[in-house]
Amino acid sequence: MVVTLKRCARETEDWLRYHPKVRDLLSLCQSWGDWLRTARDPQEVARSIVRRCAAARWARAAAAIHALQQNIHERLAELDQRRLDWTEFAPEIKDGRIPKAAILKPYLGSSEKGVVFISFENQWVKLLRHGDLHDFAARYDLVLAPSGSPHNLTNYVFAAAYPGTLFTLISNGSDVAALPGVSDKFVVVPLFASSWVNPARFTPKPKSERVFDLIMVANFAKFKRHHVLFRALRLMPRAFRILLIGQNQDTRNAASVEEEARWYGVHERFTLRVNQTYAEVTQALCDSRASVILSRREGSCVVVAESMFADAPVAVLENAELGSRAFINEQTGMFVREAELATQLTELIQHADRFAPRQWAEANISCWKSSERLNAILKEHALASGQTWTRDIAPMQWCPDPQPVRVEDRAWLAPERDVIAERFGVTIGPEPE
C-alpha cells in the first residue's frame, strides 16, 4: 500500500507539473506575487525580475509572454547592476575562470575582431564582474549558448549591460521569436548546444554486437522522468538489457532512482552507472541499440545528437519541448506517446537496424557543419559592419565542453588565452592539455 501511494504521488506530481492549466496558474501566481511586493534596492529589483522571468517560463500564450517581457524590461530599467550582489544569483561569479568556453579566433586588429564562445549563463555572467566590457566588445565578437529558456535574470541583465552585438544560439525553436524580445542586441544563430558533436568521438558497433538494447543518459533530476521508463518496463520483454547513466542533480542521486524503480517492481531490470566520463558515455551509446529521452521540457538535450552519432535511434516524447526534437525524423528515431511507450520502445529496439541516424547526423548536424554555419553568420555580420574578415574561426566541438576540434588550432589560439587573462582578468576555456 505504501509503495502504491508513493508511486501515485510521484505520477500525480509529474502530471500537475506539465498540465497546461497548472502552468497558466503558476504563471499568474508568480506575476501576482511580484506585484504585491515593492522593489527598492538592487537585490529586491533583481528578485522581482527573477519572479517575472519564472512567470514568462510558465506562460504559454504569446500575448502573455509578450506582456511579461515588457514588465521585465520595466524592472530592468530600475536595476542598478553596479550595486547588485550577484553572488545571491550566481554564486560562482567571483571565480574568474570560465572553463566551459573556447576562443575560436584571435583578435587580429582594430578592423578584425576575434571570436569567443561561452556556454551557459553561469559562465558568461562572470564577464560582468571581471574586466572592461567595452574593451572586450571592441576586440571580440561574443557567441553565447543559453542553457534553456531565454527568460532568466542573467540573460536580461547581461544583454542590457553588454555594449555590443551578442550572437546567441538557441535551446528551442521557439527561442528564435523570443530572444529579440529579450534584447535587440541579439543576433540569433539557429544552432543548438547539441549542434557541435564530433563524429570522430564515436565508433559505433554493429547492432548485432551491442551489449545493451536501450540506454537512457540523464541526470537524476525529476524533470528527466525516470519513473516513466520504469512504468513502461513493466510491460516490456524481460530479456531487454537496459542501461541508465546519470549523475546527482538537485537533491536526487542514484538511490533516488533505484527507490523509484522498486515502486514499479523493476529495480533488477537495468544496469545503473554513475558519474561516467565523456569517453565512457560515448562508448556506452555506441554499445546500445537505441536511446530514449523522457523529459517534457528542457534545453537542447545534447544526448539526442550524441546518440545519433553512435548510430542509435532515439525515442523522444511527441509533446516534448526540447531543442533536439528538431533532429528526429524517419532516419534518426521516432516520437513516442507515454500511453504506448512500452509498445513503441519495444518496436524501436527490435527494428533499430532500419534507422540510419549517424548517416543523417553527419550530413546535417556535425561540429564541422555547425562551425561552417556559425562562421558564415559571423563573417556576413562583420563585413556588413565595415570590418574585414581574413581568417575563419576554428571549427568547434562540444565534448562535453566547447573546444576547437583540431589540436593545431588549440596551439594557435593558446596565446590569445593569455592575452585575455591579462587584459580582462578571466581565463577562457580549460587549462591547456
pLDDT tens digits along 1-12: 677 888 888 888
- Asked if residue 433 is part of any domain, the answer here is no
Please tell me whether residues 322 and 304 are part of one structural domain: yes
Alpha carbon separation from 232 to 8, 119, 289, 301, 333 (Å, rounded): 15, 35, 18, 22, 18
SS3 content of the chain, % helix, strand, coil (to 5): 50, 15, 35
DSSP state of 329: S
Please tell me whether residues 216 and 266 are part of one structural domain: yes
**% of the chain at pLDDT higher than 70:** 98
End-to-end Cα, the chain, rounded Å: 55
Among residues 41, 64, 83, which one ends one of the domains?
83
Count Cα neighbours of 95 within 13 Å in the Cβ-side half-sphere. Answer: 11
Name which of 131, 111, 121 is nearest 419 in CA terms: 131
Among residues 345, 364, 383, which one ends one of the domains?
364
- pLDDT tens per residue across span 208-251: 999 999 999 999 999 999 999 999 999 999 999 999 999 998 88
List Cβ neighbours of 311 (8 Å cut-off, separation of 6 or more).
202, 204, 286, 356, 357, 358
Average pLDDT for 132-140: 95
- Bridge-based pairing of strands 333-336 and 396-398 is unpaired
List Cβ neighbours of 198 (8 Å cut-off, separation of 6 or more).
366, 367, 397, 398, 399, 405
Compare 411 and 329 and report the one with higher pLDDT: 329
Say whether pLDDT at 433 is over 70: no
Q: Give the CATH number, domain containing residue 344.
A: 3.40.50.2000
CA distance 238 to 270: 10
- Asked if residue 235 is part of any domain, the answer here is yes
Cross-strand partners of 105: 115
**CB-count burial class (<10 Å; 0-12, 13-18, 19+) for 80:** exposed
Please tell me whether residues 15 and 143 are part of one structural domain: no
Say whether pLDDT at 87 is over 80: yes
Q: What pLDDT does residue 36 have?
A: 59
DSSP state of 170: -
- Asked if residue 6 is part of any domain, the answer here is yes
Please tell me whether residues 231 and 377 are part of one structural domain: no
Please tell me whether residues 279 and 209 are part of one structural domain: yes
Please tell me whether residues 203 and 332 are part of one structural domain: yes
| Backbone phi, psi, residue 282, to 5° | -65, -40
Question: Which stretch of DSSP H or E encloses residue 180?
Answer: helix 175-182
Q: What pLDDT does residue 13 have?
A: 86
Domain that holds residue 55: 2-83
Please tell me whether residues 165 and 312 are part of one structural domain: no
- Asked if residue 416 is part of any domain, the answer here is yes
Alpha carbon separation from 37 to 68, 81, 240, 412 (Å, rounded): 16, 20, 54, 53
Please tell me whether residues 35 and 65 are part of one structural domain: yes
Q: What pLDDT does residue 9 have?
A: 86
Among residues 83, 114, 130, which one ends one of the domains?
83
Cα 117 versus chain centre, distance: 15
Please report where in the chains the cell 549517424 appears, as a residue.
358
- The cell numbers describing 386, all together, are 565595415
Please tell me whether residues 221 and 325 are part of one structural domain: yes
- Asked if residue 290 is part of any domain, the answer here is yes
Which amino acid, residue 91? Answer: P
Residue 33: pLDDT band (50, 70, 90) is: low
- Asked if residue 253 is part of any domain, the answer here is yes
CB 389 within 8 A of CB 379: yes
Compare 28 and 218 and report the one with higher pLDDT: 218
Please tell me whether residues 222 and 155 are part of one structural domain: no
- Asked if residue 41 is part of any domain, the answer here is yes
Lowest mean pLDDT among 1-5, 314-318, 358-362, 371-375: 1-5
- The cell numbers describing 324, all together, are 533536439
Name which of 169, 188, 197 is nearest 364 in CA terms: 197
Average pLDDT for 89-107: 92
Please tell me whether residues 224 and 351 are part of one structural domain: yes
- Asked if residue 328 is part of any domain, the answer here is yes
Counting the structural domains of the chain, the total is: 3
Please tell me whether residues 169 and 112 are part of one structural domain: yes
Q: What is the mean pLDDT of the chain?
A: 93
The pTM assigned to this predicted structure is 0.93
